[in-house]
Structure 1
Amino acid sequence: MKDKVLIDITNPVDFETMDHMLVPDGTSAAELIQEKAPGAFVVKAFNTNFANTLATGKVGFHEQTVVLMASDFLNAKDKVAEALTGCRLKLMDAGKLRRAREMEAMGFLQISLASAGKLLWTRGFAIID
């Protein structure tokens, strides 16, 4: 994995209980992956987006899908953005890799709401400018 961009899309949710995340407090799956692959450039992305919002480029019927990205490597985020040039998705830099903690919590909340029938899987959270 040396010198490779690794996109972490995971949400470390305990899907059996839907009650907690499977990473220790004060860290994220993305940070743990970075520790295990020190030569890689880890970018946390796509974990706050349901599949339908990625496919359509819309959250609900009107709002553009925004993909949050977090990484300690600006050039890695730039490579992800370059790879997605021309797609219907808007990218937003969420900051350093430690922001993956909040992104994973956001993904967990969104998944738990959808699993409980309180949010449609075709919808999700939107960032409105």
Structure 2
Amino acid sequence: MTSISVIGTGNMGSAISAVAVKGGAHVQVVARDTTKAQELAAQLGATSATFGDVLTGDIVVLALPYPALDEVVSTYGPRLDGKTVVDLTNPVDFATFDALTVPAHSSAADELQAKLPNAHVVKAFNTNFAATLASGTVGGEPTTVVIAGDDDSAKAELAAVITAAGLKAADAGSLKRARELEAVGFLQMVLAVREHVSWTGGFGVHA
């Protein structure tokens, strides 16, 4: 059985934890607020832990805002060696809401991989809103999670859980594609803020 640790109990963390449980994974919910972690774990039939505790998942999902990634690196660092680390952040400049904060040639996922050289960083879920992960649909189509990463086996293991939960997974290629995924995620957020799409909708992939 695939084991997944989800750090974060917000909308995205809760939705991804539910998807992982539905996909047959053993899920560990991790948060600073132990009570929130325990409550979500109890709802899902998962286990809980406090941020800083041992991560039991072979896959670790960082359901956190971009500025929190450095704390994950400083707290866990080498303990993430060999694990698949899923980054779902969109590094948006929220002061202007007009740009990404990473260099044009890079991405949040690339930066994270440089800081965790012995982990398998994968970009995923950043082009999905939590509501579409929870419902499993976007505009009448199954929700598609687009994945990018340099390790094919890491991507395949994550995709297997996603598809087992009834969603679709699309492999966008190497981690270099994270830049484009972050741009798409940012654009989707802009459209939602401007009320051109709803937070229960967003981009879909139609094959």
- From 4, 14, 18, the equivalent of 2:97 is 18
Shift of 1:85: 4.7
Partner AA of 2:185 in structure 1? G
Match of 1:101 among 171, 179, 195: 179
Q: 1:119 aligns with which of 197, 200, 203?
A: 197
For residue 49 of structure 1, the aligned residue among 97, 112, 128 is: 128
TM-score by length of 2: 0.60
Q: Size of the alignment, in residue pairs?
A: 128
8 Å Cα contact 2:133-2:143 kept in structure 1: yes
Q: Give percent identity, aligned residues only.
A: 52
Structure 1 residue 83: Cα displacement: 3.1
What SS does structure 1 have at the residue aligned with 2:160? helix
Residue 77 of structure 1 is matched in structure 2 by: 155
Once residues 14 and 55 of structure 1 are traced to their aligned partners in structure 2, the CA distance between those partners, rounded to angstroms, is: 27
Gaps of 5+ in 2: 1-79
Q: Does the residue aligned with 1:21 lie in a helix, a strand or coil?
A: coil
What corresponds to 1:33 in structure 2? 112
* Offset of residue 16 of structure 1: 2.3
After superposition, give the CA deviation of every residue in 1:35-57 in whole Å (9 maximum; x if it has no partner): 00001000100000000110011
Give the match for residue 58 of structure 1. Answer: 137
Gaps of 5+ in 1: none
Larger Rg: 2
TM-score using structure 1 length: 0.95
Higher RCO (CA < 8 A, seq sep 6+): 1
- Once the 2 structures are TM-superposed, how far is the Cα of residue 102 of structure 1 from its aligned partner? 0.4
